[in-house]
Amino acid sequence: MIYASVKHIGRCSNNSDPRGNPRLKEEDLNFFEQVQAQCEVPRSGPLTAEAWRSQDCVRDAYEKMRAAWLARLTGSAREEATRSPEKHLGLQQELQELGYVPPSAIDGVYGRDTRVAILTWQNARGRATTGLIGDADARAIDGEVTAGHLADHAGSPALPPGTEEIPLRNNGGVYVVPVRINGAITLDFIVDSGASDVLIPADVAMTLARTGTIAQDDFIGHQEYQLANGSTLKSERFILRELKVGSRVLSNVVASIGSVEAGPLLGQSFLARFGSWSIDNDRHLLALGRLRQ
């Protein structure tokens, strides 16, 4: 996480100029080297206790440099740069839904593919081709996707009372739904009825621990899970105080911890608490019925 935070600094600043700027790249690299030296961030080797402590130094250095970078920006560039990471991801996913961004480009950091997509969308809509998503363009993209969803809903079959439909997003051929965890972070989860529990990757669990939203008292032991290939996996289990999907908020949801490479899964410890749930593959929606008593 430390290494990723430092490397992310350069990517964020350089992406504020879609045309590329050699001076910015040189400044980014100099700042990267300065932070590594100042905060004593190891360039390789295990993540030691000393390395963990350097995170505060990295964060403080980044915040100071970010403020300096932001002070240079105006108009659409500043509006884009001050937008939350979650909204950046949402806009990328909406541009993908509109057919402009490839799934591989959805990472919350606007690289070349996303910049080309923005320019193409702006040109197709007769808007100023800046390659930046200012607030007006963000509202237009949101509105375009919402209008498409409303059109999809027209003539759809009646749902049981109390059912909520939540849009699913296509992420590399897999449909995912955004889930808010403990009111702290939002991640895209794969809806997996074959998973006994909600599954959280290890690095996400560590982030939740650092933000104080899970504590030692939340852990309830471990359990062995049977995998599809016949092998078993032992995993720590704990209680998530809150999961929010759409407007539905569930408290005290049992979750397990997977490897860093594992994708977040929305399993039966969440789904089974609803009287009914279903996926509409034609309209790409997750339908959640009333909560069970």
Enumerate residues 6+ apart whose C-beta is below 8 A from 35: 6, 9, 41, 57, 58, 61, 62
Which phi and psi (to 5°) does residue 154 adopt? -60, 125
Domain limits, the chain? 2-72, 90-153, 164-288
Which SS3 state, helix, strand or coil, does residue 159 take?
coil
For domain 90-153, the question of CATH label 2.60.40 is answered with no
Which phi and psi (to 5°) does residue 247 adopt? -100, 0
Per-residue confidence of the chain (293 residues) as pLDDT tens digits? 333 333 333 344 444 444 455 555 677 778 878 877 787 776 666 555 555 556 678 778 888 888 888 888 889 999 998 888 888 888 998 898 888 888 777 888 888 889 999 999 998 888 899 999 999 999 889 888 877 766 665 555 666 677 898 998 877 777 889 999 998 889 999 998 888 889 998 888 888 888 888 888 888 877 665 555 555 556 788 899 999 999 999 999 999 988 878 889 999 999 999 988 988 877 788 999 988 87
CATH number of 164-288: 2.40.70.10
CA dihedral sign, ordered 186, 191, 195, 201:
negative
The answer to whether the predicted template modeling score (pTM) of the entire model surpasses 0.85 is no
- Choose among 190, 186, 174: nearest CA to 262: 190
**Per-residue model confidence (pLDDT) at position 52:** 55
